[in-house]
Structures are given as structure tokens and as C-alpha cells.
Structure 1
Amino acid sequence: MRRLICLSVSLALAAWCAASLANTPADTAPGARLPDWAVPTSYRLALTVNPAAGEFSGTATIKVDLKQPADHLWLNGRSLHVSKVVVTDAKGEVHAGTYEEAQPQEGVSRVDFGAVLKPQALTLEIAYSAPFNQQLQGLYKVTHASVPYVMTQMEPVSARFAFPGFDEPGFKTPYDIALTIPADQVGVANARQIGETSGRPGWKTLTFAQTRPLPTYLVAFAVGKWDIANAPAIAPDSFRSEALPLRGIAAQGEAHRMQHVLGETPSIIHALENYYGFGYPFGKLDLLAAPDFSAGAMENPGLVTFRDWLLLLDPDSPAQYVRGSFNVTAHELAHQWTGDTVTLAWWDDLWLNEAFATWMQQKVTMKVHPEYRADLDRISGAQQAMQNDSLVSARKIRQPITGNGDIETAFDSITYRKGAAVLGMFEGYVGEDTFQKGMRAYIQAHKFGNATADDLVDAIAAAANQGDSFKQAFNSFLDQSGVPYVRVALEHQNGQVVLNLSQDRYLPLGSSGEANRTWGIPVCVRYAVAGGTRTGCQLLTKPTGTMVLSNASASTWVMPNADARGYYRFSLDKSQWQDLAQHLGELNAREQLAYADSIDAGFRKGEWNAAETLAALKPVTGVATDEVAIAPLNTIAWIYRYEAASDAQRSAIVTWVKDAYLPRLQRLGYQRKPGESSADAVLRGQLAEALALDFKLPEVRAAMLQFGDAALSKTPDGKLNFDVVNPDLLGVALAVAAQEHGKPVVDALISTLPKVSSPDLRNAMLAGLSRVEDPALADQVRDFAIGKDVKVGEMAMILRGSSETPQQRDGLWQWFTLRYPLVLARTGSFAGGLLPGLVGGGHCSVAAADHLQSFFQPRLKDLPGADRGLAQTRERILLCAALKAKQDPASIPH
């Protein structure tokens, strides 16, 4: 209802009044995006927060630029109980406003002014209260060792649970934050604390410096009995004139375990500053170990939050945690430039945040810790993305966003890993120095503002002196889904060696996709010349092309993806595959990974049978580089689980695996050695898990059972004896013990878990519980997973581990369909898009695909984003069934 009434006025005033009414938006509640005729220019948040309570309260004061006459505006707010709205116009006149949730599920609300106001600067003051969120969104509450804490996770669209505002990345403004908290609590936020005052007895108010311009999803604060570890400030450098304060923040009694990550952080910051030519701009840097968290970590400027096991490390922590800690820290700190300093304008360009942080993290890791082989992580990550990207239902890197569900499901391997691989491919094409020049120009042009993909591509093209053809090639990977399939054939013509190239879309066997698709692909090949090898490159923009291999030897062989820079798979005829396999040792480790992936791709396309695949992958298992040697394991595991039809065939595959990998594990041994590399420690854990749990080698299971029994023995004070087992193997050892001994082990782990606060020990116990095979015990474990003693962020760890055998998959499905309301209540609609994959993963029959569809289809309205999760999981099941039907089990040696 319009609240402005035109009474008796002069003709001129009446005309103005009519015009104002006519120009007032007569709109309906918006969907995913708010209209742009009301834009925030700053926020002041004053919140009262007590972690011991069930809710919080506060006032959000938002300055708004009203760009057209209106009697209302739209903003975001969800589950907020608004008690008062005051609208102050540019003249200082006060209007009593009203607040109404127009679309509660979307979090869209309407604020009415009580009058039509002309375009001007307004101030909205909204007083409200809200419950602490129970599903790790907005301002949420968790407990650690029975102590409550509250903290934020706003990305992507959860700030609306914490305060009313314009919850979109394009609305970027400064924030002033004040927290009124119990006097014995600690409060932290994005910016440094600048004041503390005492209020009523037992309370204090903390004020923080104004932030740089931020979107709502990067606003962060936390309250609780946090421990703080102060680290030496990060020294100034040529890009930053002042020392950077650095702190670690953790739950009570835990901050002493943050010294390792705090010691690594300065090298990461300096590497990033040197690359971007731009100093860290957010004044201070806190790293917070969250007791429970929905993501791996979150790049909030000035207050970066992590799952606790990534930060709480000691000399006995699993090696994979130490390595993962560095990689994730480098990723989140890379965001301080790409994401925080320059922010995507809308969620369809999420890759500008995540792909760049993934790509940059790998560069930083290679510089600071080259032994971690981030160059191989880049390739294996791209290959994992290709598995997703091979689906007809795969997202584009730049996927149109039509609702909150699309936003929430955009955080996938396409955005992170495919995006990073495409960046690396075009970086290789123009040269690293040229690419860096373009990146520096991009950051400078858009610092503290927003950008789009076109802005980035234009900056790289300008630095490389490239025109429209380059931009079109780059955009061909951004704006269409799918993996290019480059077919390569060698031919001798007029004394020259020529490569005939063709491209289409890679589609696995059984896919319904259209193969006729073209990209602008920087194809680079390695080939043999007298005395060595040479690399040739060409931008393939048409369905077919040719490349002359200058000075190629008469008997040359070709590696069609030199240095594995290209985001594509390749195919050769069988004789050329044999030639390449014979020269595997002349390829670098990156190329060897690409070789293994393209063998797997040919198998899944139906071009190789199981016997041919096993033979082609066998040489890979013998290479020196660990990451390459174990690459075939996923392919072999598929053949073992889905194709082997008899005990003799399964035994033959186990023998193949044993011959390939047991000697490597035996050389490593089961105990850590003084001075051994982290690579050895990580490989030991990977091989022990694969051989003991996936392929069930008796000798490895016996060793793991011995360790598991030792860990489950009681110490003199009645606790389980976890410290006696190599921490890299503890989860595997507990899993084998649970499988072999059954209920006594399951009961012991379930009764002990609530008493354990160390995140690495909890993860090991959860890993052990997740691999239980007895159906009744598996249901007991799953019921435990949705109870209060398992954190929300830990639940999937148990459920996801139950899909190795048909019995486990069927058991999980039956359990889930009966417990669905309870699972949803814990995860919330925020994670609903992941549920089809969680319970449907691993199934391999048309019947299973149909069951999945019939269960989730009527529930999609309550699960934003689950339509894509359902489509992709169903497609994977059907592709698995098609490949299984194609195979001839008799081809497996036995």
C-alpha cells in the first residue's frame, strides 16, 4: 500500500506528486539479484553477542544511495526479528519505516519508508535480534570442550542470517563494527581493535577500525574464550611500508599448536606481494582455527578462518595435514588479492576468486615448498575436474546464475580446478612474465572494486599484445562446458613429419552429449629429434588442423600434451600409444600424469578394454615420482569393484596391485624414519589405505590390525593409546580394527570421540568408523553421525566412507531414506545440493539411478541447488552402468 497521500495542494505540487507516484517502483520481490536503484554506501554494525545465549541482537545502520523516487527498497535478511526501522533522509528528517520478509526462503525483505522519497542519500537504522545459526551459516554457534563460541561464515549468501543488508558481491562498502560481549570473552573482526569500553556490569564493548570496502560475504567476526598466539609481525618490503601484525586464534587451550602455520605465513605473504607488485592491504592478519566449519577455509580479509585441523599442528601431526595446511593457507591468502582486493561483480564470475586462488596457491607452493610438487597437484586437480566436466550436466566456468541454489553449487571442481588449469594453459601460451604483467595491471585497475571475466581477459590480452582471436580462445573455455578431445595422427609428407589434429568433445561411453564442439586450444606437443626432444605449439581454433614437427626424427614419437599444460585429453592410434609407452621415461612427471589420465579416458570412452588398460598403465607404476606411480589406482579400483566378476579375477587384480605397489610400501616401512621427506610420509599413508582397505592385501591388513589393536589398548589412566601408532596410519589402522573386530571397536570409538578435542585424532577416529562393513554396525555408526557428539562439519566424513561395496551402498541408501529429515535438519538447505552425491555416489546401475531420481525429485523445492547435484549424480551412475555393461570380464587376466 502506498503511504504517501496527495491532499489539497497547488496544481504544480499536485503535478509533482503525481509524477512521484508514477515513478515509484511498482515491483514485486526480486529473486536472486536485488535491483540497483538502491545501493549501500557504508554499514555500521553494533551487535550484542553472548555465546552462552541462544540468540544475539543488534543494530545495522546502512547508508543508502536512493537513485530514483521510491517508497520502499529491497534488501536481504533471513530469520531476523526486526523490532524497529528508522529512515533518515538527507535533510535529517526521520521516517518510521517497516520491515517485512517478502521471500523468507530466499532471504529477501522489503523496507517501507512511509512516504515516497525522491533520489537522495538515506540512512536506514534497523534494530533486530536473531538466533545463532545451527547449520554453520551466518553467525553460528559451536562448542569445543563444552565451551561455546560464535563465529561467522557469510559466503555465499549467509550474511543475511547475521544482519540485514545488500547481500551481493557487487555491493562493496566499508564497515564499522562494534561488539558488545561478556567481559571475560574475546572478540575479533576483520579490522584491528581500536577501542574498548565498559558498559553494564559484566559486559564490554569492542570497537574496530573501519574496513576497506568489502562485500557482505567477506564480513567476519567471532566471540568466545579464544586463545590468541601472537607471532612476530611480518616485515615491511618494497610493496608494504609498515610491519603486518600476525596472530593465531584458537579455542581455549589450543593456540600453542599454531606456531607452525604462523611460521610459514610470512613467506606466503611475501611471495604474493612480489607476484602482484601490491602490498597486503588489510592492516592486520589473524588466522582462526574454527572448532566446526562448513568449508575448508574462508578468505575473510584480516580474519581468515579455517577448519581447525589445518592450523592446529605439532611435530606428530599427519604429514598430509602439514602439507595441506600450507596449501590451504596459501590459497586463502592469495584471495586477499583476487577476491578481497578485487571482487567478482556477480556470482557467475566466481572463478575470478577461486580459480585464481587455486592457481596462485600452486605458484606460491612451488616457490616456497617445491618438494610438495604443487605442479603435479595442478595436473591431478585438472584431471579431477575433467571427470566432472565430461558430464552433460557439468557447469560452465562462467555459468549463468538464476537463483541461490546456483550460487551454492558453483563452488565445485569446475570453478576451482578447471578454472586454474585454464589459467595455467594460457599462462603457458603467452609466457609467465607476460601473464604476470597482465595480472598486475588487472589488480591495479580494479583494486578495492569489482571486476568481470572480460576485465581479466582484456588485461592479459593487452599485456600479451593479443587480439580478438586470443580472447575468443580464452572465452571458449569460460563460456562452454566440456573437455576437448584432441586426436593426433603422425604422417610423413614430402620429407616432413606432420601432425594431423582434430578436436571434438570428450564424452564417456553411454553419454548423451553432443560431441561437435570446438575450442581455441593451445596445443603443445613434445616429440623426438636427434639427441633429444623438442616442443611445438599451435592454437587450434577449428575442428581440424596440422602441425609440422620441424627436425623430427624419422622414427619420432609424440607426446600430445607437452608439460601437461593443456586442459584437454588426447588420443593416438594403438601403435603410437605403444611408441609413447616405450618412451615414458623420457617424459617429465607432469607428462606422465597426462599419459595415465588419457589411458583412463580411453578406457571410460570404451576405446580400451580392461586388459589393455592394465597393460598400458603398468609402466606408470614403476616411475620414480610417487604422485605418478599411484595415479593408476583409481582406474584399477574401478575395474576391481565393478568389472571383476569372479574371485579368480579379483584375485588377479589384487596380485597386479601387490606386484606394483607392495614393494614400494615395504621400502618405506610402517614407521616414520628420522629425516625422511614429507613425500615419503604422505605416500606411506596413501599406499597403506589403498592396499589394506581398497584391495585388502592380507600382509598389509595384518600390520594395520596390529597397530589398531595397540591404539585401542588402554593407558594407565583409562584412555585409548593413540600415541603409540604412526599418526599417518592411525585412521587406516582403526578402520581395519573396526572391520576385523566389529562391535567392541565401534563402541570404543563412539564412546571416546566426545571426550577428544584434538581435531587430527577425531578425524582418525571418524575415518575408522566410516569404513565399518557389518550392516548393523554401519547403521549404528550412521546414527551416531547425525547425533550431537559428531560436529555438523564432520558428519559427511562418516557417511561418505560407506560406498566401497554394493552392500555398503545399499545400506547407506536404505538408512538415508529413512533418516532423511534428520540429515536435512543437521545440514540445512545450504548443503542440500550435495546430498544426492553423498548417498548416490558409487552406485552403478540403471535401477539405482531411477531410485535416486524418484526420491529426490519431489524434494528439490526444499533443496536449493540439488537439481544440479541430482542430475550429475544420476548421470555418473548411468555412465558407470554403461561402461560396466560394455566390458567383457573375460578380458581380465586370471
Structure 2
Amino acid sequence: MEQLAKYFTPELYEIELRINKDTEQVQGRVKIQGAAKSSTVKLHAKNLKINQLTVNQRPVTFTEDTEAETISFASQVSDAEISIEARYSLQLSHGMTGLYLSTYEYEGKTERIVSTQFESHYARMMFPCVDEPAAKAKFSLKIIDTDPTDTILSNMPIKTERTLTYTSVNSELNPKTDPNAMNLSTEVTRKIVEFETTPRMSTYLLALCLGHFQSVTTKNQHGVTITTYAPLNQAKESLTEPNQIAGEALDFYDQAFGVPYPLPKLDQVAVPDFDAGAMENWGLVTYRESCLLIDKTATLTDRIQIATVITHELSHQWFGNLVTMAWWDDLWLNESFANMMEYYCLDAIRPEWQVWQEYFVSDCYYALTRDASPDIQAVKQAVNHPSEIETLFDPAIVYAKGSHLMFMLMRLMGEQNFLKGLRDYFEKHQYQNTTGDDLWVALQPYAEFNVSDFMNQWITRPGFPIIEGEKQERFYLDGRSNQESWPLVQVSDNMTGHYIIGLTSEKLQAKLAHFSELNQEQQLRLLIDQSLLLRTPRGDLLASL
């Protein structure tokens, strides 16, 4: 797939949206400052009706390619700074991607929320842009809302907020030169909100939510304002614990990663219609309601599940947002890391929950089971187009196995050495894009083995070994034989490694006889390994012991 950053490097997007939730119509204007790299510029745009396009204030004609979801036009210059401005319109999506409408019932009427979901390639549904992770830029957002009672949220705090009521065409809201302007002749009220400009970030992290919400707010130890929002039909007390967990998690990550959370606020919003579990938009994390709200009926299992979603998304504020993969084939790095860190963080702030046990018996076992299939994918997959992510990325491998490999690396390096490498990584690459190799380079000074050689073999190959003494081969549930081997710094009988240990009948019987003397991880390692082996043709022999 052609990547558009080779034509144009955006530096600043100034976006203005006039949103009417009732008619579901949106009038948009975007001004993009950046550097033209060729005489042609291409931008992503999907389901946008573009009425006017200018380059350096001069009108230009453009060509639309609906299949490629692009518009192309002459830049008029090459290797120079240019200003692109587009006026356009769109309709709110109903598909939970792009700028979309979500509804719920409250006190006998339908409430409407407008929200965004831009990962992986849906920012182009709200404004023309270079919709690629490496095309980082700053974003300035202005919203003109027909419902003055709405709460309006974005990545950054509000810079200015005002409400205007008028009975004639307002020169600011509806300039006569604007072909999108409505001829207003009755009294209307508009809420106008401008947000502070974001740091440099990828388009898929821009976010917007507006509607009627209830909320709870606190500040963490580092002065970040943390607010959790929910629709009016949810119990307000269900916001308290998620908000507290978020504050504690940010404090933990600040200390662990060495680079403080860089935004002045963090919002969490429960959205009634939400396709994924959550989305880590920088400073405005959106969630499915069941993945954020903790009411008085929640069990400990429920609370752990929701807390791990929160700690997962907040780890992305660094790994994914502050430092972002250059292209989607390194998305595994974001997700593998976050899947491991969600447990690492939660264990630190809620040690009494003993969440590592949950990780070992759920994620690790899930990964080993799927990874023992003959036609399974590797953790790292080539991605030609971001639309392939949903079909190519098996969560048992990209999330669960990848996280177990990160856990293995942390154990082999030592926890503090691992964190030192991460701090160097964030310090060097903040607000930039990286590949997996950049992380290995940052970790290498703190490891006694070649991190790149070791990890690249694990992430680019499917499967894992069964280790029997000095021998290893690839493990399959169907019992087939394959004399592959993987690099092993050391073999441990705890949950460190992504492998299973084959024992002779005598050694197995000895371990079972002294099972109570093993520590928890050794017990889980033995039980997981034997449960997998029991599902193979050799299981009949093991079952007879």
C-alpha cells in the first residue's frame, strides 16, 4: 500500500467542526501546515464531501480515489512549507468508526453522544489528513455544537468556552463566504469550545466526545487532573473506583518509565456503543461501559478484569502514544508490552489481588495452547494495509504470547535493568516513531545477552519448544515432530519462559510427590505443562501415572 507521508509531512492541523447531533450533519474546515515533498500532495479522506480546497490560499482542483480513500492535488511547490485548507461536510457514522453517533435511553428519551474511534485508519472519516502513524503532527480543535448543554471533551484541556445566542447570520459562525453556511433566521444557541493544542502525535490518537455525562474528578500525586465520565443512565458510584485506579496507575507509570505523563489531564469515558474493549486516545481514553464501570454488584473477578483494561490503556499513554510504531507491522510491540504491563502495574497498586496468577493461568496458558497449533502465525506480521490488522492479528499470539515474551525478557534481564532500558527508550524517542529494533537497542546496555538476536527469533517465528534435558523440539498438540530450536538464555521451572518442560516419568512422579513444597509459579508451570501434554498422543501414558 502506498504511504502518503512521502508526498507531504504535516506539522499542524487546525480543525473546526460544526456538529448537529439531531440532524447528524457535520460541517468541517481544516487547515494543515506542513512540508510538501513533491509537486503532488495526497491526503486520506473517506466519506467526506469536499467543497473547497486551497493551497497557500489559492483554489486547486483535486482528484478523488474512493478505493484508495485519497484525494490528490498539485502542491504548486516542492520541498517547501505549504498551507492546505479544506472545507467539507460529512454525516455522523453509525458504524462505531470515525466520528460516530452513540445513543442510550434516559428518563423516557433518547440521549445522543458523538464519539470517535480512529484506530487504525479512521481519522480520515472526520478530516482530510495523512492518516499514518509516522505522520505525527500537532492538532488544534474547535467545536461548534448545536446543543449548548453538552459536555465536550478532547485530548487536551479546554482553552476557551462560550455560548452564543443570536437571531441572524453570525459572521464568525456562518461567514457569508462559507459555502457550507446555513442561513439562520431564527434564534439559535451555539456552544463554542476551543482546546489547547496537542503535542506531536499520530492521527489515530486524536479523539472527541460530546454529550450529556456525569463524572467524578481527582488529581494524582503529580498534579494530573483525572476525570471519569459515564452516560446519565449509569450509577455515579460506578465511576469512583475506575477513577482511583487510573490515578494510581499514572503515578506508577510515571515512576517506572522515568518520563512523566506529559498532558495536564486524563479523561476516561464510558461510551454506550463501542466496538472494542477500550481505546487509548492520548488524554481521552474511551471504553465500552462494561470495561470501565464498577458498581456495587461487581465481584473481585469483575474488578480485576476492568482494572487490567484501565492499566493496559494507560500504559499505552507511553508505549504507543508518547512513542509510536512507525508502521502497523510493529503494532504487536505496543500491544504485547501493554498486555504485560497491565498486570505488572496492577500487581504493584493492588498486590492483595495476586493478579500474576490470573495472568499465568489465563493469558500464558491461552498463548501456549494456540501457539501449539501447526498453522499459527508469528507475533510479528507484515501489514500491507491497516485494514488487515483485524484479520491478521490473533489476540492469543499478538497480545498474550507477545506479552509472555516481554515478561520472559524482563525476567532474564532483571526487573530493574529492564526498567532502566525502558527509561532510556522513552527519553530518547519521545514524540517520535520507532520499530522493535529501537527498543532492543535501548535495552541492550542492561542485558548480558544479545537482546536483538534473542527476541527477533522469538517474535518472527511461530510456535515454541518442549524442552527435555538438553534437547528441544517444536511442540504440537497433535503430536507431530519438528526438530526446531529456539535461543534460550536459561531454562527455569517457573513461569518465565514461553516453553514447556518435558519430564521423565520418574521426575514427574518426584515433583508430584513433593508438589506442596513447590512455590506457586513452579506449581502452575507443572500443571500447565502437564495439561498441555495430556492433550497430545503421549497423554495416555501420562494419565496412567
With structure 1 as the length reference, what TM-score do the two structures score?
0.56
The answer on whether the counterparts of 2:155 and 2:198 sit within 8 Å (CA) in structure 1 is yes
Unaligned runs of 5+ in 1: 1-30, 89-93, 237-242, 489-500, 526-561, 617-894
Cα shift readout 1:263-297 (whole Å, capped 9, x = no counterpart): 23222111111111221111101111111211111
Match of 1:484 in 2: 465
Between the aligned partners of 2:468 and 2:4, the Cα distance in structure 1 is 46
Structure 1 residue 298: Cα displacement? 1.1
What's the CA shift string for 1:8-56, capped at 9, x where partnerless? xxxxxxxxxxxxxxxxxxxxxxx26335232211111111112222332
Deviation digits for residues 763-818 of structure 1 (CA, Å, limit 9, x no counterpart): xxxxxxxxxxxxxxxxxxxxxxxxxxxxxxxxxxxxxxxxxxxxxxxxxxxxxxxx
Are 1:262 and 2:257 an aligned pair? Answer: no
User: Is residue 425–residue 522 contact of structure 1 (8 Å, CA) maintained in 2?
Assistant: no
Alignment check: 8 A CA contact 1:56 1:130 kept: yes
SS at match of 2:324: strand
Q: Which residue is equivalent to 1:170?
A: 134
More helix by share: 1
**1:252 and 2:254 correspond:** no
- What is the CA-CA distance between 1:177 and the residue it aligns to? 0.6
Quick one: which amino acid aligns to residue 396 of structure 2?
S
Kept after mapping to 2: 8 A contact 1:375/1:590: no
Q: In structure 1, what is the equivalent of residue 419 of structure 2?
A: 436
Matched, 1:318 2:299: yes
Partner Cα distance (1:152, 1:342) in 2: 21
Which amino acid in structure 2 is aligned with residue 97 of structure 1? V
Aligned residues: 515
In 2, are the aligned partners of 1:193 and 1:207 still within 8 Å (CA)? Answer: yes
In structure 1, C-alpha distance between the alignment counterparts of 2:396 and 2:34, rounded to whole Å: 37
**Which of the numbers 86, 102, 109 marks the counterpart of 2:70?**
109
Deviations 1:360-417 (A, max 9, x none): 2211111111232221233231221122222343232221112234323336222211
Unpaired runs of at least 5, structure 2: 167-187
In the alignment, structure 1 residue 464 sits paired with structure 2 residue 454: no
Question: What's the secondary structure of 1:348's corresponding residue?
Answer: helix
Paired residue secondary structure (1:287): strand
After TM superposition, give the deviation of residue 598 of structure 1 in Å.
1.6
How far apart are residue 120 of structure 1 and its match?
0.9
The structure whose Rg is larger is 1
Alpha-carbon distance between aligned partners in 2 of 1:510 and 1:166, rounded to the nearest angstrom: 48
Q: Name the CA distance, whole Å, in 2 between partners of 1:112 and 1:471.
A: 42
The one-character-per-residue Cα deviations of 1:868-889 (angstroms, maximum 9, x if unpaired) are xxxxxxxxxxxxxxxxxxxxxx
Alignment counterpart, residue 125 of structure 1, candidates 73, 76, 85: 85
Q: Aligned to 1:406, which of 371, 382, 388?
A: 388
State how far apart, in whole Å, the 2-side matches of 1:191 and 1:329 are: 19
Partner SS state of residue 40, structure 1: strand
Q: TM-score, structure 2 length as denominator?
A: 0.90
- In 2, Cα distance between equivalents of 1:174 and 1:571: 54
How far apart in 1 are the matches of 2:374 and 2:326? 27
- Kept in 1, the 8 Å contact 2:9–2:35? The answer is yes
SS of match in other structure, 1:596 = helix
Change (3 A) 1:607 1:442: same
Alpha-carbon shift at residue 109 of structure 1 (Å): 0.8
1:628 aligns with none
2:401 aligned residue (398, 411, 418)? 418
Aligned residue for 2:497, secondary structure, equals: coil
- Contact kept, 8 Å, 2:413 with 2:448, in 1: the verdict is no
Which of 23, 37, 60 is residue 97 of structure 1 equivalent to?
60
Say if 2:321 is the partner of 1:361.
no
1:502 aligned residue (448, 455, 471) = 471
Tell me which of 321, 335, 338 is aligned to 2:316: 335
Residue aligning to 2:486: 519
Residues 1:383 and 2:365 are matched in the alignment: yes
Q: Distance in 2 between matches of 1:35 and 1:322?
A: 42
Contact 1:218 1:300 in 2 (8 A): yes
Deviations 1:170-190 (A, max 9, x none): 111110011111212221000
Report the Cα offset of residue 520 of structure 1: 1.1
Q: CA deviation at 1:506?
A: 1.5
Corresponding residue for 1:18? none
CA gap of 1:411–1:41, structure 2 versus 1, over 3 A, is farther
Identity of aligned residues (%): 26
After superposition, the Cα gap between the structure-2 partners of 1:307 and 1:32, relative to the gap in structure 1 and judged at 3 Å, is farther
Q: Give 2:115's aligned residue.
A: 151
Contact 2:479–2:537 under 8 Å retained in 1: no
* Correspondence for 2:512: 581
2:443–2:451: 8 Å Cα contact kept in structure 1? no
Please state if 1:232 is matched with 2:201.
no
Q: Distance in 2 between matches of 1:32 and 1:347?
A: 13
RCO higher in 1 or 2 (8 Å CA, sep ≥ 6)? 2
Structure 1 residues 484 and 612: CA distance shift in structure 2, 3 A: closer
Structure 1 residue 453, shift from structure 2 partner: 0.6
Root-mean-square deviation (Å):
2.0
Evaluate the alpha carbon distance shift between residue 172 and residue 594 of structure 1 in structure 2; reply closer, same or farther with a 3 A threshold: same
Q: 1:465 to 1:612 in 2, by over 3 A?
A: closer
* Cα deviation 1:36-88 (Å, max 9, x = unaligned): 232211111111112222332211221221123x1x32222211111111111
Match of 2:201 among 200, 203, 214: 214
Report the CA distance shift for 1:32/1:313 in structure 2 as closer, same or farther (over 3 A).
farther
Matched AA of 1:78: K
Which residue in the other structure is 1:223 paired with?
210
Letter in 2 for 1:584: F
User: 1:347 Cα deviation (Å)?
Assistant: 1.0
